[in-house]
Amino acid sequence: MEETPARLTAKPSWLLTQLAMHAHRLASDGFAEAGARGYHYRILAALDEFGVASQAELGRRCNMDRSDVVAAINELAGQGLVERTPDPGDRRRNMVSLTEAGDRQLGRLDRALDRVQDDLLGPLPAEDRQTLTRLLTRLLTHHQQG
């Protein structure tokens, strides 16, 4: 950062952008080591937390475009990590559920993402990590409501 103009490095928006790009690279690398992508993690995590869902529900919960949801679910189903079944109430709609293999993969991805957090936040003590997470959550929540 010593070659970056001070008027940039003094702006939280610039700092957040730079850190977000670095965090994205770390997460992508961590997921790749586990044979996955971020979209896979989002879907597996949503299924684990909320249970069986339609593709449209997964798209909303995971903040993903419909075509990305379909592509990711195709990949996950091809690996046996999720199962798609027709919705008994609407045969045009698919319901997606987590398989046992998907649950195991989610555990691997959780561990990979935990390592990423440690790499990203390594210079900060635990208390500062909690404070940073709390402040970022507050900012994000405020801007999502606005």
Q: Where are the chain's structural domains? A: 27-114
pLDDT digits (tens, 9 = 90+) for 91-104: 888 899 999 999 99
Confidence band (pLDDT; 50, 70, 90) for 82?
Answer: very high
Angle CA 73–49–145, to nearest 5: 95
Torsion from C-alpha of 93, 97, 102, 106, nearest 10 degrees? 100
What pLDDT does residue 91 have?
Answer: 83
Two tokens, residue 7: 């008027």
Give the H or E element holding residue 97: strand 90-98
Phi and psi dihedrals of 121, rounded to 5? -100, 10
CATH class assigned to 27-114: mainly alpha
What pLDDT does residue 92 have?
Answer: 84
Q: What is the pTM assigned to this prediction?
A: 0.87
